[in-house]
Amino acid sequence: MKRQIPALGSLLVVAAVLCLLPFILSDYDVSLAAQVGIFFIAVLGLNILTGYTGQISIGHGAFMMIGGYTTAVMSRDHGTNLVVTMLMAFAICFVVGLLVGLPALRLSGVYLALVTFALAVSLPYIPLQYSTFLGGSGGVQSAQTVSNLWVYTAAWACSAVLFVLAWLILRGRTGRAFRAVRDSEIAAVASGVELPVYKTLAFGISAAYAGVAGSLFVLAANGFAQPSEFDIFLSLQILIGAAVAGLGSLWGILIGAAFVGLLPQVSTSIPLIGAQHGRDVVFGAAVILIMLLLPDGFAGLLARLRRPTRARA
Amino acid sequence: MAMNRRKLAILIVGLLATAAVAGTAGASRTSTPGVTSKQITIGGTFPFTGPASLYKTIPAAELAFYKYVNAKYHGVHGRKINDIALDDGYNPAQTVPDVKKLVEQDHVFAIVGSLGTAPGLSTWGYLNQHKVPQVLLATGDAYWGNCVHHACQGGTKPWTMGWQPDYPGEAKLYAKYILKHKNNAKIGVLYQNDAFGKNYLAGLKTGLGAHKGDIVDAESYSVTDPGPVIQAHVGKIAASGANVFVIFATPTAAITALATEGHIPGWNPLTINSNVSANRLFMGLAAQNGANVNGVLSTTYVASQSAQPNLPGMKLAKKIIHKYAPNGVGTLDGQFATGDNNLVYGLAVGWTFWDALKHAGKNPTRAGLMHALRHMNEKNNPFIYPGMVVKTSNKRTFPMEQLIFEKWAGGGAGDWKTFGKVLNSGH
C-alpha cells in the first residue's frame, strides 16, 4: 500500500476467495465473514489515522455508532435506500470526524487519546436523552432488513472501494503529508505542510470509514441499533484490530479484522470461561503478546519474513 | 508471476469443487429446525458473566429441569430436550451474535427463557422476522405481551412471549400500597436507565395517578456503573427527604442500594425492592453489607424453598437441583439452601416449556409451539406460588398476572413473609 499496489497477485487471490466464499460457507459462516469485512473497513480507517498520521484514537466506536444510527434512523423514518444511508453515514462521520479532529490540533499523544475515549464513553448516552428521535435504550429498528449475504457483499464491496480510495489518498501528496506529520510535526511544518488541514483531514477520513463500518454493523444486527451495542469495548476492538494488523499491509489488516471480528463469536463456544471472560482474557493476552513479539503487528512480521527471500533471489 | 497465476488457477478450481460439494450437501434439510426423531434442541442467552451475573442460576435450574425430564419421562413424546445456554454477559452487542449462532448454526427449534430486556429487544426483530419462537423470556417488560397484536418497532411480534408478571403491573401494585399505607408520601426512586427500569417507573407513575407528584426524586443509573455511583444516587435520594424508597434495579445495584440506605444515619424510609432483585440470597448479601433489611417490601410469584419447604413442589425442586445440577450432583445444593429463589424460577419456566411442548403434539412445529403457548391453562405448575396460575389466550398475552406481597423479617438470616391475598397484576 505504501509504494505500489500491493502485489497485484495477492489482491486478486483475496478477491477471488471472497467471491467464492458465499458458495462454500453456510449462511451463518457468511455472517461471520461479513463481520470480518466490517472490521476490515474500521481497522483500515484507523490505520490511516494512527498508522499514517500518528494520531491515536481509542474512540472509533463512537463514529461507528453515528454511522449505525444514521442508517437505522433514515431507514425507520424515510425508508431510505440502505446504500444511500451508507453514503450518508460516510458523509456525516466525515464532518463529525473533522470536528473531533480540532482538539487534535492542540493535543497529542495520550491527551488526544483521552479526548476520543471520552467521546466513545459519552456518546451512547445521547440516545437516552433524545429517546423519541433516537429510540432511547429501546433502540431503533430499521424499516428494511437484509440477508447475511447482502451484508457480506456490501461489506466486502465497500472494503474494496475504500481500500482503493485509501491507496489513492496515501500514495500521493496527501499521504506524504500525513507521514510527514507522523514523523515530525516541526519538520512537516517547515516543509510547508499545513498541519491543521492534514490533521483534521486524517480524522475526517478515518471517521468516515468507521461510519460506513457502523452502518454495516447495524445492518448485520438485523437493522437494530441500540446504545449498548456501541460500548467502549467496540472501540477497543478496532484499536486491537489495528495493533494486530500493523501498518500498511493488506494481509495485516485482514488478519487484524479477522481476529477482532471472529473472536467474540468463537469465544462463546469456550465452555467454562464463557463469552465475556473468554473474550476479555484472549484479547488481553493477545495484545500483550503482540506488543511484545510483533511490535509492528502482522504487517511487520510479513515484511520480516519477506526480506530474506528477496535477499536470496 | 507465471507461477503465481498457475497457483491461482489451481486455487480457484479447488474452491469451485468444494463449493459444488458443499452445495449438494446443504440440499437435504428436515422440515422443522431443531427437531429430530430423538431430540429437540432449544437455546437461550443468559448473563453467566457481567453486571447481571447473579442471575446465572436461572439457566442452571432450567438445564437441571430438562435433564430431569429427559431422565424420568424420556423428554417429550420420546424426544429429549437439549438446551444450549450461551453467555451474553447482559450485553446486547453479544446477544445478537449469540442468537444468530443459535438460529443459523445450531438450528435451534426455539429461543427459550433468554434473560434481559435490552438483550431481548436487540433480537426480537430478527427472531420474529425468521419466525423463530422467542418465548418465556426472563424479563417482565410490557413489550412482550403488548406487541403481540400491536405493532412495536416496525411490526407486531407474535413470536415473542414473556412469562413472569409484567413490570408496570407490579409497579402499579406498589403505587396502590403506598397510597393506602403512607400519608404524605415522598417517594424516591432508583431505576436502571434502560427499557427495564423505565417500564417500572412508568408503571409506578400510572399507579400513583394524581399523586404522581409524590415522587420527589427519581435517580437513574447505568447497569455498568460501579458501586460508588449507585451510592451517590442513594445519597441524593436520602437528601431529597424521601420517606419511601423504591428500587427498580438489577441485583448488584439493588444490593448496593439497600446497603447504602443502611449506612445513612437517621434515614428509615419504607423500602420497596422490586421482585427481580428480591431473591433471599440477595437480601442476605445486602444485610451482610450493612442493609437494614427488616420491613423491606416486595412481591413474589414463585414458591419459596426456604419459607415453604414442605410444599410438594419445593421437595421436588430440592431433589431436581441436587441430582441434575449441570455441573454435577450436589453442586447447587448450597445455593439452593441459602434460598436462591432464581433456582425455583428456572424450574418453573422449564416446567411451563415442557408443558407447552407436550401440548404442541407429536410432531411439533414452531407454529404449533406458539399455539400451545398461547392456549395454556397451567394450574399445576409445582414451582409457582400456590394458588396462582399460568394462563394464556389469544387475548391474554401475559402468562402470569398474579403477585402476592411479601415483607422481610428476621434480619440477615431472616426471610420473606407473604401477606394478604394473591393479587391481580394484569391489565
Q: Output the pLDDT for position A263.
A: 79
Q: Which residues of A touch B98 (CB under 8 A)?
A: 268, 275
CA A97 to each of CA A82, A110, A232, B57, B74: distance values in angstroms, whole numbers, following the listed order:
22, 18, 18, 45, 60
Per-residue pLDDT averaged across A42-52, rounded? 93
Shared-domain flag, residues B191 and B275: yes
Amino acid letter, B394:
N
Rounded-to-integer distance, Cα B159 and Cα A45, Å = 40
Chain A residue with CA closest to B18: the answer is A24
| Cα Rg of chain B, angstroms | 24
**Residue A279's Cα: distance from chain center in Å?**
19
The region that residue B34 occupies, defined by phi over 0 for left and psi between -120 and 50 for alpha, beta otherwise, is left
Q: Which residues of A touch B23 (CB under 8 A)?
A: 23
Max intra-chain CA distance, chain A:
66
**What's the gap in Å between the CA of B380 and the closest CA on chain A?**
35
pLDDT tens string B253-288 = 999 999 999 999 999 999 999 999 999 999 999 999
Shared-domain flag, residues B160 and B172: no
Shared-domain flag, residues B56 and B199: no
**What's the gap in Å between the CA of B133 and the closest CA on chain A?**
16
- Residues listed for chain B: 427
Contact (CB, 8 A) for B173 and B261:
no
Contact B19 A23 (CB under 8 A): yes
> How many of the other CB atoms lie within 10 Å of CB of B1?
8
Nearest to A158 by CA among A220, A226, A114: A220
Q: Which residues of B touch A149 (CB under 8 A)?
A: none
Contact A276 B97 (CB under 8 A): no
Name which of B49, B87, B121 is nearest A226 (Cβ-Cβ). B121
Burial of B294 (0-12, 13-18, 19+ CB in 10 A): middle
Residue A313: is its pLDDT beyond 70? no
In-domain check, residue B22: no
Q: What residues make up the domain containing B251?
A: 167-300+403-424
Q: Output the pLDDT for position A270.
A: 60
In-domain check, residue B276: yes
Contact B94 A264 (CB under 8 A): yes
User: Best residue in A224, A236, A260 to probe B by mutation, most B CBs within 10 Å?
Assistant: A224
Backbone angles phi, psi at B195, to 5 degrees: -55, -35
In-domain check, residue B2: no
Domains of chain A: 8-312 (1.10.3470)
Nearest to A253 by CA among A51, A66, A68, A64: A51
Rounded-to-integer distance, Cα B222 and Cα A118, Å = 16
Contact (CB, 8 A) for B125 and B100:
no
Shared-domain flag, residues B287 and B409: yes
Distance linking the first and last C-alpha atoms of chain B:
74
In-domain check, residue B17: no
Backbone angles phi, psi at B24, to 5 degrees: -70, -35
Shared-domain flag, residues B161 and B171: no
Q: What percent of chain A has pLDDT over 90?
A: 44
Contact B91 A228 (CB under 8 A): yes
Name which of B86, B104, B193 is nearest A275 (Cβ-Cβ). B86
Shared-domain flag, residues B175 and B285: yes
The set of cell numbers assigned to B400 is: 402470569
Shared-domain flag, residues B173 and B159: no
Contact A143 B195 (CB under 8 A): no
Give CA torsion, residues B47, B48, B49, B53, to 10 deg: 70
Nearest to B96 by CA among A156, A205, A264: A264
In-domain check, residue B192: yes
Rounded-to-integer distance, Cα B153 and Cα A133, Å = 13
Q: Which residues of B touch A224 (CB under 8 A)?
A: 96, 121-123, 125-126
Contact (CB, 8 A) for B192 and B140:
no
Beta strand pairing call for B111-112 and B134-135? parallel
Name which of B22, B92, B101 is nearest A226 (Cβ-Cβ). B92
Chain A residue with CA closest to B91: the answer is A228
Name which of B23, B89, B198 is nearest A23 (Cβ-Cβ). B23
The region that residue B164 occupies, defined by phi over 0 for left and psi between -120 and 50 for alpha, beta otherwise, is beta
In-domain check, residue B347: yes
Nearest to B275 by CA among B147, B140, B121: B140
Helix (H, G, I), strand (E, B) or coil at B404: strand
Q: Output the pLDDT for position A56.
A: 86
Number of domains chain B contains? 2
Shared-domain flag, residues B174 and B267: yes
**Residue A152's Cα: distance from chain center in Å?**
16
Contact (CB, 8 A) for B204 and B175:
yes
Query: pTM of the predicted model, to two decimals?
Result: 0.82
The set of cell numbers assigned to B72 is: 424420568
The set of cell numbers assigned to B10 is: 489451481
Nearest to B162 by CA among B142, B197, B188, B136: B136
Look over chain A and give the mean of its residue pLDDT values, rounded to a whole number: 86
Burial of A312 (0-12, 13-18, 19+ CB in 10 A): exposed
Nearest to B147 by CA among B128, B165, B131: B128
Name which of B96, B105, B193 is nearest A128 (Cβ-Cβ). B193
Collect all residues with Cβ–Cβ distance below 8 Å to A251 and sequence separation of at least 6.
A10, A298, A299, A302
Name which of A29, A141, A275 is nearest B154 (Cβ-Cβ). A141
CATH number of the domain encompassing residue B292: 3.40.50.2300
Shared-domain flag, residues B281 and B314: no
User: How many alpha carbons fall within 13 Å on the CB side of residue A109?
Assistant: 2
Shared-domain flag, residues B326 and B256: no
Bridge partners, residue A45, by sequence:
none
Amino acid letter, B98:
D
Nearest to B42 by CA among B133, B111, B100, B129: B111
Contact (CB, 8 A) for B132 and B366:
yes
pLDDT tens string A206-237 = 999 999 999 999 999 889 998 888 988 899 88
- For chains A and B, what is the number of CB pairs under 8 angstroms? 132
Chain B residue with CA closest to A274: the answer is B87
Shared-domain flag, residues B201 and B337: no
Contact B129 A145 (CB under 8 A): yes
Contact (CB, 8 A) for A118 and A57:
no
Rounded-to-integer distance, Cα B273 and Cα B279, Å = 10
In-domain check, residue B96: yes
Q: Output the pLDDT for position B2.
A: 40
Rounded-to-integer distance, Cα B173 and Cα B192, Å = 19
In-domain check, residue B7: no
Instruction: Give pLDDT tens digits along chain B (427 positions).
Output: 344 445 544 544 444 444 444 443 443 345 799 999 999 999 999 998 888 889 999 999 999 999 999 999 999 999 999 999 998 888 888 898 899 989 998 999 999 999 999 899 999 999 999 999 999 999 999 999 999 999 988 889 999 999 999 999 999 999 999 999 998 999 999 999 888 999 999 999 999 999 999 999 999 998 888 899 999 999 999 999 999 999 999 999 999 999 999 999 999 999 999 999 999 999 999 999 999 999 999 999 999 999 999 999 999 999 999 999 998 999 999 999 999 999 999 999 999 999 999 999 999 999 999 999 999 999 999 999 999 999 999 889 999 999 999 999 999 999 999 999 999 988 6
Q: Output the pLDDT for position B169.
A: 95
Nearest to B247 by CA among B187, B177, B184, B288: B187
Rounded-to-integer distance, Cα A249 and Cα A298, Å = 8
Contact B101 A17 (CB under 8 A): no
A300 pLDDT band (50/70/90 cuts)? confident
Q: Output the pLDDT for position A5.
A: 52
Burial of B235 (0-12, 13-18, 19+ CB in 10 A): middle
Torsion sign (Cα): A182, A186, A192, A196: positive
Contact B198 A137 (CB under 8 A): yes
Most confident range (mean pLDDT) of A145-159, A239-253, A260-274 is A145-159
Rounded-to-integer distance, Cα A246 and Cα A262, Å = 18
Shared-domain flag, residues B242 and B391: no
> In chain A, which residues touch B (CB < 8 A)?
9, 12-13, 16-17, 20, 23-29, 31, 35, 76, 125, 128, 136-139, 141-143, 145, 148, 221-224, 226, 228-231, 233-234, 264-265, 268, 274-277
The set of cell numbers assigned to A266 is: 468463537
